[in-house]
Amino acid sequence: MIGPAKNSVPATNPTKKLLLSPDSIINLDHGDPTMFEPYWRKLGEKCTVEISGSDLMSYCSDIGNICWFLEPQLSDAIKRLHRTVGNAVSEDRYVVVGTGSTQLYQAALFALTSPGGAEADPISVVCAAPYYSSYQEETDFLRSGLYKWAGDAYSFDKDGPYIEIVTSPNNPDGAILEAVVNRKEGKLIHDLAYYWPQYTPITHPADYDIMLFTFSKSTGHAGSRIGWALVNDKVVARKMTKFIEVSSTGVSKESQLRAAKILGVAIEGCQHSDSENFFKYGQCLMAERWEKLRDVVKNSQIFSLPKYPQEWCNFISKYSESHPAFAWLKCKEDTNCESLLRAHKILTRGGERFGVGQEYARISLLSRERDFNQFLERLSGIKTAGQGIRTT
């Protein structure tokens, strides 16, 4: 669902300070984390990587490691980062690097279902609705005989083996979730892309069999396509590595090198005062955006937002509530929320894509500031559900 949208604001050229005209389309459909650019720009040279023409030419990074294409310095940085932030147990875990967590999700499905039997049915893959809109497509697009999307975990009643994806904080709605099916034939994949201090209180180090994280959401470097899995079981780590070997013969070494550098700077920043600490900076920025958004929604007759409980965050040493990367906006019943917003030239993703009703829409809050402010301005101008759109 990323891709061309006519007349939309260019996502590239961040330095061009285009003024948004009232006719400009604001694309908040995908969670492009460009809001974090100013932080990294401010750090200047400190995060710069230099790569010479003869560097990183081999397929191999670490032939003694199960994940033979993982740069050792990235593996080290990942483990240190989790220790510093306290969001996941990383000691004695296998690290598998992927081309974004997108690829690792598929690697995990493969690892948990292969080799399968020639006559066996594909294993069911479920997730509690509302679930991340891309899981279904990523699971089913090749019509694999190994696994098959089976929808909402709450209504799953088939016997036998299954895989449940637990996304926490949840995409789209930011909720903190646990597995819901809980049967012994089940295997779990924990997608923890948003379990970082800027989005939610860090209440404990997560400790699950397969945990997925991504550079895109941790520090905002989506263009690098770096994700990582922390994996308990050696056989699973080996099969996930095999998947990435067969599907792309490894993962960009340039991106791995740069991710190692930037994660290193982020770790170092955690020793410093608030504005130098990326995660505290991010937490303040997200809290500010949510405050502004809640102000607009409070004055609206037709929109509402989820409430999040206050929790103690070990990282910022304060009680705080979640400030998710997406707003999960609900319209008055029977209003198609996505269509309503589209009529105001705001592109979002409707609830049906997440397995729930059209009264919901997911809106990225990670855009550049100009787009976020323009979004608020337009949102505050929507007074009735009938403004220029079809309702059902």
Site for a copy of itself in 224-263 (CB under 8 A): 224-226, 241, 243, 245-255, 257-258, 262
- Which residues lie across from 318 on neighbouring strands? 313
What does the per-residue mask of binding to a copy of itself show for 11-30, with x meaning CB under 8 A?
xx-x---------------x
Comparison of 69 and 308: residue with beta carbon closer to a copy of itself: 69
Shortest Cβ 341–a copy of itself spacing (Å): 19
Shortest Cβ 250–a copy of itself spacing (Å): 6
189 within 8 A of 210, measured Cβ to Cβ: yes
At 227, give phi and psi (nearest 5°).
-130, 165
Site for a copy of itself (CB under 8 A): which residue of 17, 23, 63, 157? 63
191 within 8 A of 98, measured Cβ to Cβ: no
CB neighbourhood size of 204 (10 A): 11
Q: Per CB under 8 A, does 124 bind a copy of itself?
A: no
Judged by CB under 8 A, the chain residues 69 through 88 that form the site for a copy of itself are 69
Q: What is the per-residue DSSP string for 106-141? A: HHHHHHHH-S--SSSPPEEEEEPSS--THHHHHHHT
Q: Per CB under 8 A, does 102 bind a copy of itself?
A: yes
Separation CA 258–CA 163 (nearest Å):
33
Site for a copy of itself (CB under 8 A): which residue of 10, 16, 159, 271? 10
Q: Give the position of tokens 């899981």.
A: 135
283 within 8 A of 197, measured Cβ to Cβ: yes
Comparison of 201 and 220: residue with beta carbon closer to a copy of itself: 220
Shortest Cβ 252–a copy of itself spacing (Å): 4
Shortest Cβ 33–a copy of itself spacing (Å): 7
Separation CA 168–CA 138 (nearest Å):
19
Q: Per CB under 8 A, does 369 bind a copy of itself?
A: no
Q: Per CB under 8 A, does 392 bind a copy of itself?
A: no
| Residue 346: C-alpha distances to residues 24, 25, 342 (Å) | 9, 6, 5
Q: Per CB under 8 A, does 32 bind a copy of itself?
A: yes
Q: How many residues bind a copy of itself (CB under 8 A)?
A: 87
Judged by CB under 8 A, the chain residues 262 through 291 that form the site for a copy of itself are 262, 265
Shortest Cβ 81–a copy of itself spacing (Å): 15
Q: Residue 360: CB partners within 8 Å, gap ≥ 6?
A: 130, 172, 328, 329, 330, 331, 337, 350, 351, 354
Comparison of 15 and 301: residue with beta carbon closer to a copy of itself: 15
